[in-house]
């Protein structure tokens, strides 16, 4: 049976249907050549192979002495071997210091191994050297000791990173170590957050009764960064159709995605985001069968067909809508499959209610080790203080209106 048949109200779109529609509409960003400083969070579109060996030359793994191992074959505490120090090679010394048997070269970690040397003796195994330019060894050394061989980490042609890899700190370090100054990848998508509402004032500014301090844009910019976007907040936009359209137009210049909050409910001309964008005809407004977050808009704007989400203004609705619908599109922008939120099973520590035919995302505190989730008090869509205490969303399916304490439920971890 469909939702419409159950309720007799105007049809609501299911959460899953709406998410599928959104995901199908997002096009991957074109790959670009990115400098390493701009590559954090980018996703490779091709394998990266080593063009040089890693390490690129034989070098010392320790501070000590480069030796010919055979010279120390008989060394013991009772019969130590003393040899002259012929030279000293610090890291970064590009000169060629050849070593002949019967002498040693003092060497630092990372310094080029002198040709002729076949082992490095750590300074701790010696007397540390004397003022007359000699050093004494009380034990032998295995050939190859403390030498980092050319290509020992990766050989030329080895695939270092595969297409589809998201670049984090270590992957970027590897690219740098392998000598790449740039990389071809899909960058993090850029989102601009736009808050609308005549009642909104900048935090820190005085307000009169009837006004509130704006909170959505900071919340969503932070959530967007957690999700992997590059995020910018636009200053507050008044409830004025022309102003809303003008801001959207401007924001298109440097955004891959726009997210507005407010102005999409049932307030007619007061809901100016809906009124303004409805005229364009490219953004679809609908009711999604969920709570919070029922009024949703999604579509494309501008010449490039930039996707836009118009989220409801209530902070909890905006946040839950963001996590459920906006967060998953990051991966799609970067050519990857969308990632489902981390989900757990847990037992309800208190009974809950949910409206008919809507999927509820109740705010809760999940104790993972105990496998329990406690709904926070204050489940209304404006109750940001309650949201701030929560670390998870309890999912109550569409078909369910009540769940008793002790019932096992699905719980989504909040980032």
Among 41, 64, 197, 307, binds Mg ion (CB under 5 A): 197
Q: Where would I find the H helices in 296-354?
A: 315-321, 329-333
CA gap 336, 318 in Å, rounded? 25
Q: Locate tokens 């909170």: which residue?
A: 215
Q: Locate tokens 């109200």: which residue?
A: 9
CA gap 313, 108 in Å, rounded? 62
Q: Which is nearer to ligand AMP, 70 or 212 (CB)?
A: 212
Among 310, 314, 354, 379, binds ligand AMP (CB under 6 A): 314
Question: How many helices and strands (H and E) does the chain possess?
Answer: 9, 28
Among 70, 91, 212, 342, binds ligand AMP (CB under 6 A): 212
Instruction: Classify residue 367 as exposed, middle or buried by CB count within 10 Å of its CB (0-12, 13-18, 19+).
Output: middle
C-beta separation of 257 from 309 below 8 A: yes
Residue 262 found at the interface with Mg ion (CB under 5 A) = yes
304-323 mask for Mg ion (x: CB under 5 A)?
Answer: ---------x----------
Report the nearest approach of ligand AMP to the CB of residue 261 (Å). 5
Residue 215 found at the interface with ligand AMP (CB under 6 A) = yes
Report the nearest approach of ligand AMP to the CB of residue 200 (Å). 5
Q: Which is nearer to Mg ion, 236 or 394 (CB)?
A: 236
Of 101-109, 214-222, 325-333, 405-413, the window that binds ligand AMP (rule: CB under 6 A) is 214-222
Residue 321 found at the interface with ligand AMP (CB under 6 A) = no
- Residue 323 interacts, among ligand AMP, Mg ion, none and using kind-specific CB cut-offs from 5 to 8 Å, with none
C-beta separation of 260 from 311 below 8 A: yes
CA gap 57, 107 in Å, rounded? 15
Residue 262 found at the interface with ligand AMP (CB under 6 A) = yes
Q: Which is nearer to ligand AMP, 38 or 199 (CB)?
A: 199
Residue 328 found at the interface with Mg ion (CB under 5 A) = no
- Residue 265 interacts, among ligand AMP, Mg ion, none and using kind-specific CB cut-offs from 5 to 8 Å, with ligand AMP
Q: Which is nearer to ligand AMP, 165 or 215 (CB)?
A: 215
Q: How far is CA 37 from CA 45, 113, 187, 225, in A?
A: 18, 32, 11, 17
Q: Which is nearer to ligand AMP, 265 or 391 (CB)?
A: 265
Q: Which of 213, 299, 297, 289 is nearest to 261 (CA)?
A: 297
Residue 355, SS3 per DSSP: coil
Report the nearest approach of ligand AMP to the CB of residue 398 (Å). 23
CA gap 230, 333 in Å, rounded? 12
Q: How many residues bind ligand AMP (CB under 6 A)?
A: 18
Two tokens, residue 319: 């946040």
The site for ligand AMP (CB under 6 A) is made up of 195, 197, 199-200, 212, 214-217, 261-263, 265, 312-315, 382
């Amino acid at each position: 049976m469909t939702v419409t048949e159950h309720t007799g109200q105007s049809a609501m779109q299911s959460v899953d249907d709406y998410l599928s529609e959104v995901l199908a509409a997002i096009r991957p960003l074109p790959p670009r050549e990115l400098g390493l400083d701009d590559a954090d969070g980018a996703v490779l579109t091709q394998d990266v192979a080593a063009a040089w060996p890693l390490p690129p030359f034989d070098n010392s793994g320790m501070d000590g002495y480069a030796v010919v191992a055979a010279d120390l074959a008989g060394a013991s505490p009772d019969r130590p071997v003393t040899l002259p120090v012929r030279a000293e090679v610090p890291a970064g010394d590009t000169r060629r210091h050849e070593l002949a048997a019967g002498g040693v070269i003092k060497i630092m970690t990372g310094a080029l191994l002198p040709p002729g040397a076949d082992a490095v003796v750590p300074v701790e195994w010696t007397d540390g050297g004397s003022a007359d330019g000699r050093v004494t060894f009380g034990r032998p050394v295995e050939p190859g000791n403390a030498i980092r061989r050319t290509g020992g980490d990766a050989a030329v042609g080895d695939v270092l990173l595969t297409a589809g890899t998201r670049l984090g700190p270590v992957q970027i370090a590897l690219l740098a170590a392998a000598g790449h100054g740039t990389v071809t990848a899909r960058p993090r998508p850029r989102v601009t957050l736009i808050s609308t509402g005549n009642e909104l004032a900048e935090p820190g500014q005085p307000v009169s009764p009837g006004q509130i301090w704006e909170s959505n844009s900071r919340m969503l910019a932070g959530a967007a960064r957690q999700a992997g976007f590059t995020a910018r907040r636009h200053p507050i936009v008044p409830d004025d159709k022309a102003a809303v359209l003008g801001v959207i137009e401007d924001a298109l210049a440097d955004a891959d995605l726009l997210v507005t909050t407010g102005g999409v409910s049932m307030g007619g001309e007061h809901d100016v985001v809906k009124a303004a964008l409805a005229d364009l005809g490219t953004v679809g407004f609908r009711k999604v069968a969920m709570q919070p977050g029922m009024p949703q808009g999604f579509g494309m704007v501008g010449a490039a067909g930039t996707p836009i989400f118009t989220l409801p203004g209530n902070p909890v609705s905006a946040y839950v809508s963001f996590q459920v619908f906006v967060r998953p599109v990051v991966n799609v922008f970067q050519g990857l499959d969308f990632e489902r939120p981390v989900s757990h099973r847990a037992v309800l520590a208190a009974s809950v209610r949910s409206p008919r035919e809507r999927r509820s995302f109740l705010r809760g505190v999940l104790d993972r080790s105990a496998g329990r989730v406690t709904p926070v008090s204050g489940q209304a869509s404006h109750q940001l203080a309650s949201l701030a205490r929560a670390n998870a969303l309890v999912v109550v399916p569409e078909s369910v209106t009540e769940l008793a304490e002790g019932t096992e439920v699905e719980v989504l971890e909040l980032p």
